[in-house]
A and B are shown apart, each in its own frame.
Chain A
Amino acid sequence: SQTIHQWPATLVQPVGSPLSLECTVEGTSNPNLYWYRQAAGRGLQLLFYSVGIGQISSEVPQNLSASRPQDRQFILSSKKLLLSDSGFYLCAWFRGIAEAFFGQGTRLTVV
C-alpha cells in the first residue's frame, strides 16, 4: 500500500535561518506531489506541485522553494525564514483523478 512520510512534525526556527522539510512517498511510482500551507487551521494554500523529477511549478510568489531530487522525494526549502513563513505545511500525493493523500504535516514556528 502507498504511504507518505513527512518530517519533522514540529519545528521552531529563528528568523533568517534556513529551512528544509522532506516528504517521501512509498508504494507508488511517478506520483504527482504537492506542498500546501495551512494558516490558523483554516483553508489550504497550494504552494508547489511536481509532476516528475526536477519539475517544479510554483503557485504563489514567496520566500520558499521546492525541489524534487528523486521520484518519490519532495523537499520544501528556504534560505532565510521570515516570521510570515510560520504555519502548518502539508505534503500530498495524488492518485489518478481521484483523491489526494496527505502527510501528517509539519508545524513550523518562526521566532
Chain B
Amino acid sequence: SQQGEEDPQALSIQEGENATMNCSYKTSINNLQWYRQNSGRGLVHLILIRSNEREKHSGRLRVTLDTSKKSSSLLITASRAADTASYFCATPNRDAGGTSYGKLTFGQGTILTVHP
C-alpha cells in the first residue's frame, strides 16, 4: 500500500510567508519523518515525530501528527528563498514478519518554491 501521500504536489509562495505541507498515511506507524531534497541532490533529514507525540518544533519547522486521522503536517514559518526544495514525508515500512529494518516508504513529495 502507498504510505505518505503529500499535498499539495506543488506550492509557490513569497518570501516571508508560511508554507504548510500535508502528509497522509495508511497503516499504523512508530514514527513519521520529514526530509528535504534540493534539486538533483540527496535527501536530508529534517525532523522525526514519534507516534506518541502530537507536535514538534525545530527552528522554523513545526510538525504535527494526528494518528487518529493518519496525517501529519509540516509548517515552515517565515520562508526564505533558500527553502526552495522538495519535501517528503516518510514512514517506517515493515516486512511480513513485522520488522522494519529501517526501511522507509516515501510519499511523492511537495515541491516548494519560495520567490524572493
Which residues of A come within 8 Å of B, CB atoms? 6, 32, 34, 36, 41-44, 46, 49, 51, 57, 59, 88, 90, 92, 94, 97-105, 107
Contacts and interface: CB of A to CB of B under 8 A. Distances in A.
Interface residues of B, number: 29
> 10 tightest CB-CB pairs across the interface, nearest first?
A94-B102, A102-B42, A99-B45, A43-B108, A44-B106, A102-B43, A32-B102, A104-B42, A42-B108, A43-B106
Contacts of A44: 43, 88, 106
Contact of A41 (B31, B39, B48, B90): B39
A92 B88 CA distance: 15
B109 A97 contact: no
Nearest to A45: B106
Contacts, number: 66
A100 B88 contact: no
Interface of B: 30-31, 33, 37, 39-45, 48, 86, 88, 90, 92-93, 95, 100-109, 111
B104 A46 contact: yes
B33 A99 contact: yes
Contact of A49 (B40, B41, B101, B107): B101
A107 B102 contact: no
